[in-house]
Structure 1
Amino acid sequence: MFYSKSKSIRLLISAGMLFPAVFIVGGSFIAGLIICGIQSLDYFPLIGKRTLSLHVYIGIFQSAVFYRSLIFSLGISLVATVLAAMIAVILALWLRKYVRQGGWLHFLLQFNLPIPHVVGAIAILILFGQSGLISRLTYWAGFIQQPSQFPILVTDQFGIGIVLEYVWKEVPFIAVSVLSILKSWTVPYEKQLQLLGANRWQRWRFVTFPFMLPALLSSSIIVFAYTFGSFEVPYILGSVSMPTLPILAYQAYLNPDLTYRPESMAINTIITIISMILVILYIKWGGGYAAKRH
């Protein structure tokens, strides 16, 4: 009983110490959502708009620019997530063979996890730009006559540079999630199936893939949600004429004409709603998987 009371007291003390930081961060986040939501409803007293309406949303959903940006953002996120997931699964399946001997391999897999996306985007720009390192190397090697002949891989209309950065950064995140499952859950069941005469394909079909799938889905949803709402990478590597949704909202926000401010907030609200849907899917697959395992 004494131990239980002391534990409760420590929890209360910890909660009390964390409360100010949580209150400030959480309060700022909630206040930002409220202000964004109200302004997106065309309520902006600074310029004389004092009536709530859906006028801004109606205009956005009738805009071809919005749909082009939405499809572009979804396409980049989907391609980057699928490529990252495929490469991550291949790496995880290969690395699990070196559970004891592959410590340095695991380090190489995870070394870029602490690196910010901004740093990765600048690195992609330096490497793959038309005046970048790889362009100059191919010029010196005689493969191209001048650096401008190097393929446009950054600030392009297809978001190739953005996808490259996302894949480079998110492969380790997905691979670590999948590898932890492969190392801890699948081995005993695979050995049992092997003793029963199952071949490699049968072990993959009935054990490896089903156990790996929830972790793969949950981590992929996180990657998709982040890449969909990311601002800094498209800002550095994207094209001005083909903006993602966050960049489109940023452009409207910077417009000197303040009548565009509610449009910026409405786009941000749409991004938030889509991200919340993805969070719910993550809770459904990720949280449900964890609960079943315990």
Structure 2
Amino acid sequence: MTGFWNIGNEKLSSSKLTSLKPYFYLLPSLLVVFFFVGYGLYNAAKSSVAVEEGQPFYYHYQQLFQEGVFLNALAVSVWVAFISTAVSLVIGIWMTRRLVRLFKQDHWKFIAWFPMLIPHFVAAYIVFLLFAPSGWFSSVAFQSGWLENMSQFPLFVNDPYYIGVILTYIWKEIPFVILMLLPVYQEMDMRYEDVSRTLGGNGWTVFKTVEFPWVWPVSLEVFLILFVFVLGAFEVPALLGVTYPKMIPVLAYDWFYQAAWVNRPLAHAMMVFLSAVSLAAAFFILTFAQRWRSRWAMRREEA
């Protein structure tokens, strides 16, 4: 009898170790991330609440939201992050569902994922060379006689609507969307698509009834990753943005390094605020995605 319990305990311990094995693999990288990011956030939070005597601890946060420069930077940052992420997600889903059968061959995967090998700064510089008023497209349009002079070319870089920044992020992030969604489409049973089309369903009907339950939670997670990344990225808006309104990372850099020392606590408060909002959004979105997967799995078992 004792041997039976020992065997049972050994099996239980073995299953626990197996379930914890992925976390052991991630532990070194997680320790590095938590150390550097955690230490940076701790210092930023400490500096953002360090106030003079008689001032409330939230003084710098109050000052931050009274700054019109910050509010404009927040608005343009959310605009750029939302548009570039939404467009990348829509195009990435469309390309994945159209080319999923081709992606079974490795060379098509390499072609689709090649832009991820290019650093964002280099990608921004390529967009500048192509879309600047003196760039390649304006030169071609002028040489072809479409423009009387190159100054008539539309402003796509260093423009107040951040079109060049959005273009850079779109062509850089579409491959990431494909990378994240391709395993989802490869796990689908495409026979359901054949059944839906046999019953007269069009492309939208197939996507809504067959693909959407699989794609939706992953799309939310991809949207979160890309949105937060674009919101906090520095190099692309620094190269292709304008002096006003600046995106939040550029404004934080200016306040921390180039402006008066009095603005450093505001830069810290800005970063702490964005980090807190990003963590809260991640918690709610990931929780919703996990619940969606659980409900969908239960429905599949019932069916």
TM-score by length of 2: 0.81
Query: Letter of the aligned partner of 1:40 in structure 2?
Result: S
Alignment pair present for 1:221 and 2:220: no
Q: 2:68 maps to which residue?
A: 64
2:42 to 22, 34, 41: 34
Q: Quick one: which amino acid aligns to residue 81 of structure 2?
A: S
Aligned partners of 2:217 and 2:293 also within 8 Å: no
| Residue equivalent to 2:256 | 253
Alignment of structure 1 residues 255-294 onto 2, 5 Å: 255-288=258-291
- CA gap of 1:93–1:237, structure 2 versus 1, over 3 A, is same
> What CA distance in whole angstroms lies between the structure 1 residues aligned with 2:55 and 2:73?
28
Within a 5 Å distance, the mapping from 1:51-200 to structure 2 comes to 53-100=57-104, 103-193=106-196, 197=199, 199-200=201-202
Letter in 2 for 1:127: L
Quote the offset at 1:269 in angstroms.
1.1
**Could you tell me how far apart the structure 1 residues matched to 2:277 and 2:183 are?**
29
Deviations 1:164-218 (A, max 9, x none): 01101111111232232122124143345556x3533543321122222222222
Identity of matched residues, %: 25
Tell me how far apart the structure 1 counterparts of residues 37 and 221 of structure 2 sit (CA, whole Å). Answer: 24
Q: Which residue of 1 aligns with 2:301?
A: none
Kept in 2: contact 1:130–1:148 (CA 8 A):
yes
Matches of 1:16 and 1:275 in 2, distance apart? Answer: 25
Q: What secondary structure does 2:210 align onto?
A: helix
Q: Distance in 1 between matches of 2:273 and 2:247?
A: 13
**Worse overlay, 102-111 or 57-66:** 102-111
Q: 1:247 to 1:218 in 2, by over 3 A?
A: same
C-alpha distance after superposition, 1:9-52 (max 9, x if no partner): xx99x969965x75455322211111100111135xxxx88977
Matched positions, count: 284
- SS at 2:117 equivalent: coil
SS in structure 1 at match of 2:160: coil
For 1:77 and 1:103, locate their aligned partners in 2 and report how far apart those are by CA, in whole Å.
31
In the TM superposition, residue 293 of structure 1 has moved relative to its aligned partner by 5.7
Following TM superposition, by how much is the alpha carbon of 1:150 offset from its aligned partner in structure 2, in angstroms?
1.6
Task: Tell me the alpha carbon deviations over residues 81-126 of structure 1, each in whole angstroms, 9 at most, x when there is no partner.
Answer: 11111211221121024355x5443322111122221111111111
Structure 1 gaps, min length 5: none
Normalising by the residue count of structure 1, what TM-score does the alignment of the two structures yield?
Answer: 0.83
Q: Deviations over 1:111-160 (max 9, x none)?
A: 11222211111111111112222222222222223322221111110000
Describe the shift of the 1:78–1:203 C-alpha distance in structure 2 as closer, same or farther (beyond 3 A).
same
Looking at structure 2, the residues matched to 271 and 32 of structure 1 have their Cα atoms a distance apart, in angstroms, of: 14
Q: CA deviation at 1:287?
A: 4.6
CA distance 1:89–1:282, change in 2 (3 Å)? same
